[in-house]
Amino acid sequence: ELKVEQNPLFLSMQEGKNYTIYCNYSTTSDRLYWYRQDPGKSLESLFVLLSNGAVKQEGRLMASLDTKARLSTLHITAAVHDLSATYFCAVENDKIIFGKGTRLHILP
Amino acid sequence: KAGVTQTPRYLIKTRGQQVTLSCSPISGHRSVSWYQQTPGQGLQFLFEYFSETQRNKGNFPGRFSGRQFSNSRSEMNVSTLELGDSALYLCASSHSGYEQYFGPGTRLTVT
């Protein structure tokens, strides 16, 4: 059974700092997704990673995928308050399984 | 292009009742998936429909069911509601199972 683990589950950081969220999964996967969720809102798609070594960047966020290590990372560069949200990774093989989410709080 | 729409947005039901939630996918999307989100269990996959056929199902009891119509609109039904069914129910649509686009969700409260 596919399991997806994110860490940390909660992260409080200062503006301007860099940090990385990790997503480990237990079996081989077709695709890996990163989503953002603001409080009381739905999920917004950030990245879709399809192959080993895939790297995608959008603004201050960069996601990468290592299928051999079954690991994806979401790196935040020079964090700003607007990036405060909960970030989910999700892994697909037969169905899509979500991690528990990382609640990111960026202090001004 | 209009996004995924879900109705109703909020719902309050009593234990033992049943409820039907509706999801209209993005035009041209034939795959619709449903998820339950709770603070304790997080986001859990309920089922996926593609061209009116259930393609995948999560680990939920038979009280949870769904269907998809020929226009790709989907409904999910929960019978004999329990307090633990209180959750945000999210629907997502995709084109040929690729990137999913989520609707705003239906917040169900069971009292």
- Give pLDDT tens digits for B10-55: 999 999 999 999 999 999 999 999 999 999 899 999 999 999 999 9
- CA-to-CA separations, B83 to A28, B12, B14, B47, B107, in angstroms, rounded: 36, 11, 8, 21, 13
Query: Cβ contacts (< 8 Å) between A100 and chain B: which residues?
Result: 42
Residue B102 tokens read as: 């989520």
Measured between CB atoms, which of A33, A35, A95 is closest to B58? A95
Q: Which residue in B68, B106, B66 sits closest to B89, CA to CA?
A: B106
What is residue B2's predicted lDDT score, i.e. its pLDDT?
A: 78
In this prediction, residue B104 carries a pLDDT of 95
Q: Quote the mean pLDDT of chain B.
A: 94
Q: How far is CA B24 from the centre of its chain?
A: 10
With contact defined as beta carbons under 8 Å apart, do B89 and B21 qualify? yes
- pLDDT for res A2: 86
CB atoms within 10 A of CB B75: 17
CB-based contact (8 Å) between A15 and chain B? no
The predicted pLDDT at position B97 comes to 61
Q: Which of A45, A96, A101 comes nearest B101 by C-beta?
A: A45
State how far the Cα of A11 lies from the Cα of B101, in Å rounded to an integer: 26
